[in-house]
Structure 1
């Protein structure tokens, strides 16, 4: 390999953190041609993990390194969400969270690339493509070992959990998570609820927040939040809550929790 090529690879590795995925298309935009990338792989600087994606040879890269690349290099909205976000925020210590499943949300028209889906990250990626919440509200930067990625804040993560209820997320577990959210910022919650397009999610969020007795609920202006019309059945054979027009589990209504 030429001296110029070695200089360029050293500059690249020096300018980026360890533990990340490198997207071929992003590298081309940075002046690293496909031919040069091929030479780097031949010289064992990089190892391919699928079409269009590489990691530094010998580097230990988890799914977080893939999220870094999707966010910072591809400009996608894909982010750790729901229970996974709670875990990364350090708010899930009281739950038995499976470390083998990672919940990711992305924009309505965003898909995970094949290399991301097929590579063995040591975890299962549960990906949901949705636009029930705007991309620009309620995300926060989380610092990992060598880099940061955007994840859902606690308020947004709670809404994402409720979006998955009841098919892919237990409502009881959502309530347990809600119980720990006594310090949410009312203005952020208000913004999220006003911009959330899911009637089910908004009604459940407010119901559970009130049930948990959080003081910040009294600062939420319900008149600005579209709660829709008509009834929503969350579970079968449940109890109807007339305020939010939802059918909830019997143990919720009977105070058995």
Structure 2
């Protein structure tokens, strides 16, 4: 390899941290044509992990390196959310957490790349396309596998848990997670609740926050939060909460005299 090519490959490796997927279309925009990428693969500098994606030959790349690439190289809002985000933030350490399940959220117009969907990341990937919250609202950055990744902040994450409940997320566990969120910013919570498009999620959130007797709940302006009309039967044969017009699991209401 010529000195010029060595300089170019060295520059390529400095563009992104180690452990990150390099998307072919993004590489083209950085000045690395598809032909040049093919030459790098033949020279064993890069190896393919699926159509449209490569990694450095000796890199061990987990799902984190793939999410980083999607966020940074594709400017997508796809991010770890719900239970996964709370675990990454250290907000779910007191509950058993299976690292075999990773929950991702994206807007309803975003899709996971084919190379991501076809690769075995050694974890079960659950991807939810929804715009019940604005794409970038309530996100924060964490270090995971030495990579800065955007994930849902605590308030957004619990809202995402409630969005998945009760079919894909247990409501009792949602409440246990809510109990641990005693230092949320009321301003951020207010902003998220006002922007939230799911009546079910907002009612459940407020019910659980009040039941947990969080101090920040007292600073919310409920008049600015649209809770819709009519009842929402969240579970069958549950306990009816007249204040929020929802039906929740009876075991959740057994000690709910404070509501």
TM-score clears 0.5: yes
Q: Distance in 1 between matches of 2:173 and 2:41?
A: 46
Q: Is there any run of 5+ residues in structure 1 with no aligned partner, and where?
A: none
Partner residue of 2:188? 188
1:237 pairs with 2:240: no
- SS of the counterpart of 1:204? helix
How many residue pairs end up in the alignment? 257
Partner residue of 1:71? 71
Q: Distance in 1 between matches of 2:175 and 2:253?
A: 13
Q: Offset of 1:136 from its aligned partner?
A: 2.2
Cα deviation, 1:199-249, whole Å, max 9, x if unaligned, reads 000000000001111010010000000000000001100011011000011
Contact 2:64 2:145 in 1 (8 A): no
Cα deviation, 1:70-89, whole Å, max 9, x if unaligned, reads 00001111000001001110
Cα deviation, 1:39-96, whole Å, max 9, x if unaligned, reads 1111111110101011111211110000000000011110000010011101111111
Q: Distance in 2 between matches of 1:41 and 1:231?
A: 59
Q: Distance in 2 between matches of 1:231 and 1:172?
A: 20
Q: Is there any run of 5+ residues in structure 2 with no aligned partner, and where?
A: none
- Shift >3 Å, 4+ stretches: none
Moved more, 13-22 or 122-131: 13-22
Moved more, 167-176 or 13-22: 13-22
Q: Distance in 2 between matches of 1:5 and 1:167?
A: 53
Moved more, 13-22 or 247-256: 247-256
Partner residue of 1:94? 94
Question: Normalized against structure 2, the TM-score is what?
Answer: 0.97
Q: Distance in 1 between matches of 2:72 and 2:38?
A: 23
Q: Offset of 1:3 from its aligned partner?
A: 2.4
- SS of the counterpart of 1:94? coil
Q: Offset of 1:147 from its aligned partner?
A: 2.2
Question: Normalized against structure 1, the TM-score is what?
Answer: 0.98
Q: Distance in 1 between matches of 2:153 and 2:76?
A: 18
Q: Distance in 1 between matches of 2:87 and 2:252?
A: 25
Partner residue of 2:152? 152
Partner residue of 2:82? 82
1:109 pairs with 2:109: yes
Partner residue of 1:61? 61
Partner residue of 1:137? 137
State the superposition RMSD in angstroms.
Answer: 1.2
Partner residue of 1:224? 224
Contact 2:64 2:147 in 1 (8 A): no
Q: Offset of 1:181 from its aligned partner?
A: 0.2
Q: Distance in 2 between matches of 1:99 and 1:7?
A: 39
Q: Offset of 1:182 from its aligned partner?
A: 0.1
Are the structure 2 counterparts of residues 146 and 12 from structure 1 closer, same or farther at C-alpha, using a change threshold of 3 Å? farther
Partner residue of 1:246? 246
